[in-house]
Amino acid sequence: MIPAPYLLYLGRSNDAVGIKTSRGLAEFRPDDCVGEFRHDDGPLTLGLPRLTMAEGAAAGAKTLVLGIANSGGKMGADLIADAVAALEAGMNVAAGLHQRLRDVPEIASLAEERGLSLFDVRDPPANLPVGNGNPRAGHRLLTVGTDCSVGKMYTTIALTRAIQARGIPADFRATGQTGILIAGDGVPVDAVVADFISGAIEQLAPARNDNGWDVIEGQGSLFHPSFAGVSTGLLHGAQAEALVMCHDPMREHMRGIPGRALPDLAECLEHNLRVARLTSPDVRAVGICLNTSAMDRDDARKLCDTIAEQLGLPCTDPIAFGTDTIVDALLAG
Amino acid sequence: MIPAPYLLYLGRSNDAVGIKTSRGLAEFRPDDCVGEFRHDDGPLTLGLPRLTMAEGAAAGAKTLVLGIANSGGKMGADLIADAVAALEAGMNVAAGLHQRLRDVPEIASLAEERGLSLFDVRDPPANLPVGNGNPRAGHRLLTVGTDCSVGKMYTTIALTRAIQARGIPADFRATGQTGILIAGDGVPVDAVVADFISGAIEQLAPARNDNGWDVIEGQGSLFHPSFAGVSTGLLHGAQAEALVMCHDPMREHMRGIPGRALPDLAECLEHNLRVARLTSPDVRAVGICLNTSAMDRDDARKLCDTIAEQLGLPCTDPIAFGTDTIVDALLAG
């Protein structure tokens, strides 16, 4: 386990979506976050106390969490210098980028010298099995998306808590760096070797017989040309009986690919169901979740109603309006 | 490059499909193969001289190729003992399994002691890019399949040669261990980190402007619950203008998964085209290739004719009947 509490890194990121790991920890593990670190020219804040590395360590932070994500997952000179500064201040460092902290010589040697730990959250487990798609017991729900970073993790956690609130066992199954840091467990599915994508998810959400739910965090999108392979293997490994589709109505183009339009909602949902049927022939869609955080509340409500009518499914913003309508549909099934 | 000539390993494999790497080398690089190594209880042969490790080395073999594939790609005690014996006989060892030769301590230490080399063909290249799906110049054809190991590599090489025979530049782009050993180059796409599947193929088959073709070897199947993520990323990265679908009419169930039926041919083709359209909106199917090696020749011809009529596309066995009908359809497009 990664020693808490945490100092959350924002650096000089100007990408509100890219800081999702730091934001997720602030949102879902607020008691474990002492503050945020950002440079003078970093425009983003989580509303936490702004602390230097030394102040963070003095405030009790045991670990700097490099909670930013970027396509490709490489560390620039900036990030390396800040990780070094955190170690010099006496903190461990955790990151979820594809490039490993331990593979950066200056970070690795300094950590060893100071007796501090490096946590590479995106390290996949060893000895993953190849998936087989054979039917297994248990209830599973998977979140899917029109794009990357559209709220799948928030939705998955919200649904897990809402099912638990009905007195039904439910477990959040994390598949990305942020979810893994929040849950303290999971599999970084985009970092596994390609042959083992579905097998990793079969292992993450094995057969269960307690009538409870595994609520599995989706990744990417079948319509994202960078990452659809991950999404496909996740659908097959999850063998979900229920899908919830997530969408950001303010997204202007597929993340990282200017000019590429988002898919039509109905087409996206239908294609996800079709791919899912390979291992879960009776899969059904139970709801749509929107991230309306950038919208006026009335407009958000109206948009949810419009989409609900168009698709014939409950549609909500899980943060603004809760997930009760979706859980009703799920449990009525 | 891996020093030739080769001694081809069969061991005691009783899986005619599993020895496809050894068979592929025997077929496509016959001049580089001095013989085959199999145990007394190994039922399979490639028709090459059966040699012990010592006889292979004496016959000039520079490298033992562990040319067998198994789901999951781990080495058993058998394989390790035979690799050790090859090193003791003075040969290098090459393999394409997920488990690396260099990660087996007794193999690694003996190779070092004897000054011999280990070649792990499934090592993906470093610094792969994330795919983007942006349109790029050039003609590309991709082979896809109803299942794993249905003849995609044979078909891809046959098509490459047939296009070259028309005086048009064409390059075989290998994506699996066998193809890479034959071509001496390529990317082991099932071994790359999941986020980089499509990016690996974009790098393997970059833009070209000579009016020639990149003929890309497909992997797995959209209908295989273990590996469909790889096939999806390959379709998106290939950005192919033409697909050829491969099928083994004798296959009783999806490879490695007893009880799971193969997809309907028309449904499989349509689904591949649909997934491909994300990055290649005008993609078209140009033919079907069957592996009829286990069938009577007349029956094989009749089956090709029947499928050609059903799907409205040329259908052939590339080894038995050539690929002219498909290349005609390709170049007429």
Per the CB < 8 A criterion, the answer to whether B61 and B5 are in contact is: yes
- Which residues of chain B neighbour A98 with C-beta distances below 8 Å? 193, 195
Chain A residues with CB-CB distance to B194 below 8 A:
189-194, 197, 229-230, 233
Are the C-beta atoms of residues B228 and A198 closer than 8 Å to each other? yes
pLDDT at A17 over 90: no
Cis check: omega of the bond before A5, within 30 degrees of 0: yes
Mean pLDDT of all residues belonging to chain A? 96
Query: Using CB atoms, which residue from A72, A98, A131 is nearest to B225?
Result: A131
CA dihedral B296, B301, B302, B307 (to 10 degrees): 120
Place of tokens 């390959």: B234
Nearest-CB residue to B190 (from A133, A194, A237): A194
Give the chain B residue nearest A233 (alpha carbons): B229
Angle ∠(A247,A253,A257) on CA atoms, nearest 5: 120
Q: What is the ipTM of this complex?
A: 0.90
A-chain CB neighbours of B199 within 8 Å are 226
Could you say which residues of chain B have pLDDT below 50?
Answer: none
Q: Is B132–A225 a contact, with Cβ atoms under 8 angstroms apart?
A: yes
Q: Which of A195, A203, A236 to mutate to test binding with chain B, by most B CBs within 10 Å of its CB? A: A195
A105-149 residue pLDDT tens: 999 999 999 999 999 998 888 889 999 999 999 999 999 999 999
Measured between beta carbons, the chain B residues lying within 8 angstroms of A193 are 98, 190-194
B93, B64 Cβ separation under 8 angstroms:
yes
Tokens encoding B61:
């073999």
Contacts of B266 (CB under 8 A, 6+ apart): B310, B311
Q: Which domains does chain A have, with CATH numbers?
A: 6-120 (3.40.50.720), 139-332 (3.40.50.300)
pLDDT at A276 over 70: yes
Interface residues from chain A to B (CB-CB < 8 Å)? 71-73, 98, 129-134, 189-195, 197-199, 222-223, 225-234, 236-237, 256-257, 260, 271, 274-275, 278-279
**Sequence-separated (6 or more) residues with CB below 8 Å from residue B257:** A132, A133, A134, B224, B225, B226
Contacts across the A-B interface (CB distance below 8 Å): 135
Question: What's the half-sphere exposure (Cβ side, CA atoms, 13 Å) at B215?
Answer: 25
- Read off the pLDDT of residues A142-179 as tens digits, 9 standing for 90 and up: 999 999 999 999 999 999 999 999 999 999 999 999 99
pLDDT confidence of residue B99: 87
Q: How far apart are CA B42 and CA A235, in angstroms?
A: 39
Q: Do A190 and B195 touch (CB under 8 A)?
A: yes
Spatial contact of B218 and B144, defined as CB atoms under 8 Å apart = yes
Closest-CA distance, A239 to chain B, in angstroms, reads: 10
